[in-house]
Structure 1
């Protein structure tokens, strides 16, 4: 690596506002670097204003002379990064978009650079993928590490450079767990309704009712897992993706509300459909005495606002008051017989 670039990268990562000459010299300690090479790089950074002399510390008296301590001008480093990004945009495959890095910390660009170079090399050798493949396979193709996408920040990087969708990566989520209503699958109706329930107890309670309700499937969400595994629905149940309607029933607590909100955004992106709240179940919950607990759950204001907007003012107030008092409504608050009766008798279809 170019000595000046090596020093700049170290300055970016340096936590303090000043740096000593000894610390600068240690940057090259792992590889051969002469005093002449290092001093030239440092003097160039002095001249550009990146390094500024702390006068009280003086110079070392060698030829050329360097300062014992420098102040780091990070704003000048940011200008240097912008020039580097502009050059990279000219050099890299045009499908790689670097716009995000202009507003991100410099450290993110430094961490991503090597992977971006590997992705660029891949794009120059192979056409853009046409078929989706599992994440580990695509990950190994791109950077030689099968865990990079799922565990090494690869998904985030591909989103930053706007290649995630184009890379056609199949989720490695657990398979989606659901039961099928044969009448629903083979019905003439062009719309397929799916009820997603957060917990296993509710899933089992409703399972025997599936053949007599106008739903194609009953999906066991298993908490947060459904947010990823819902991607697999179109593969596990290959019906017309434009004809799905999703309904959700979860606990009335912050966790359950947050799961629905994240799932709604995910399904909207995949199918262009919202995840409708299964209102009759929720209305039955708030008629019961609430349970106490879940005080430490994280509240998402946007999720809460979106959730409450589906209910009338009285139910909104009931839910807000309950959660503020440290209470919640678990799905299990409704007995199995009542759950089945609600599913049978409520109006669900458009």
Structure 2
């Protein structure tokens, strides 16, 4: 019976016109006689499910989505290699081949994505081949092409379609003669900043701590204090020259004691490697000396944003992206942790690095806001 049902389904799939199929249709394909189909459903459904598993293993079907609760197998499948699909695939390949955009490999390999993105790709292609293009910001180009000024970059949405398409094409804004504007950062500056050739600058990850520390005696030695606004500093610091920050300045960074905080520092330092950027060890030391690991809170959810390297090639804020479709651009949780540990080992003395690694491995953290609970103005600190 196994072989008979298997052959019946394969035979019916060959003439099937669609690319996807549900479990009920596959059951109907198991026999030409409706009574026999009902018999298979009532008596041999487990056998039928085993046959579907084998069809997937043999490359005839490919499961879609997740297995529903209480079920053994998926309820929907992609149909592989039927005649109709091959004809459709050839037509799509021809369509993609006619585009002039660079790096179309992703869409040759992911034709369903091409169909979903087709109308946007055609507009991008028509604009790309123009011999002359005005110099626009990315938002201005977004509005011109798609009547949506946030099409290329909208960190408030879980899925950024415009950014996803750009990444799929491995294409840059410069290819469309446009550029991405950066949001300015908030800062506190002293008169001494304009009187020195080499200044002391402190970047603070979070707003509350920035507000607290900028007026504290502890930080009197800094000529400028910048609110980094989390990972935003990785892009906003591109405006450093506009704020007269130069390569002679000494820049210290202070963020949360958690994997994401150290990862932000790592990416920031790597991107702006020409600047003299170091971790602000004294401020981290104050936190570590003041809190026992046993009383620290656990992370509510561990960072799962991935794929930061493409960000710096493209100038994109991938750190904002949460879409599961962007998994190919993402770091996994162990990768984030290993990056954080790498920073700790390179930036801290052993007595502190051991404690930091213990905190990271246990998925606990110390928010930098905790420094406000310590009498920091009584601390004798050398920020050199």
TM class, shorter-length: 0.5 to 0.7
- Do the aligned residues in 2 keep the contact of 1:202 with 1:336 (CA within 8 Å)? no
In 1, the alpha carbon distance for the partners of 2:201 and 2:133 equals 34
Aligned to 1:314: 351
1:270 shift after superposition: 5.7
In 2, the alpha carbon distance for the partners of 1:163 and 1:326 equals 37
1:267 shift after superposition: 5.6
In 2, the alpha carbon distance for the partners of 1:306 and 1:82 equals 48
Closer, same or farther: CA 283–125 of 1 in aligned 2, 3 Å: same
The one of 48, 69, 73 aligned to 2:79: 73
User: Do residues 296 (structure 1) and 305 (structure 2) align?
Assistant: no
The one of 337, 340, 343 aligned to 2:377: 337
User: Do residues 98 (structure 1) and 101 (structure 2) align?
Assistant: no
Aligned to 1:285: 287
In 2, the alpha carbon distance for the partners of 1:78 and 1:224 equals 45
- Do the aligned residues in 2 keep the contact of 1:248 with 1:278 (CA within 8 Å)? yes
1:214 shift after superposition: 5.8
User: Do residues 139 (structure 1) and 179 (structure 2) align?
Assistant: no
5+ residue gaps, structure 2, are 1-16, 34-59, 62-77, 155-159, 304-335
Closer, same or farther: CA 206–273 of 1 in aligned 2, 3 Å: same
1:83 shift after superposition: 7.5
Aligned to 1:328: 365
In 1, the alpha carbon distance for the partners of 2:179 and 2:206 equals 28
User: Do residues 204 (structure 1) and 207 (structure 2) align?
Assistant: no
- Do the aligned residues in 2 keep the contact of 1:171 with 1:229 (CA within 8 Å)? no
Closer, same or farther: CA 243–330 of 1 in aligned 2, 3 Å: same
User: Do residues 158 (structure 1) and 166 (structure 2) align?
Assistant: yes
In 2, the alpha carbon distance for the partners of 1:266 and 1:79 equals 49
Aligned to 1:221: 228
Task: State how many pairs are aligned.
Answer: 277
1:234 shift after superposition: 4.3
In 2, the alpha carbon distance for the partners of 1:293 and 1:122 equals 52
1:231 shift after superposition: 4.2
- Per the normalisation by structure 2, the TM-score is 0.58
Closer, same or farther: CA 222–85 of 1 in aligned 2, 3 Å: same
Larger CA deviation: 277-286 vs 200-209: 200-209
1:291-326 superposed Cα distances (whole Å, 9 cap, x missing partner): 521342315323322232222333222123345556
Closer, same or farther: CA 210–238 of 1 in aligned 2, 3 Å: farther
- Per the normalisation by structure 1, the TM-score is 0.63
SS of the residue corresponding to residue 171 of structure 2 reads: coil
1:196 shift after superposition: 1.1
1:11-48 superposed Cα distances (whole Å, 9 cap, x missing partner): 45x3647858xxxxxxxxxxxxxxxxxxxxxxxxxxxx
- Do the aligned residues in 1 keep the contact of 2:204 with 2:253 (CA within 8 Å)? yes
1:79 shift after superposition: 9.9
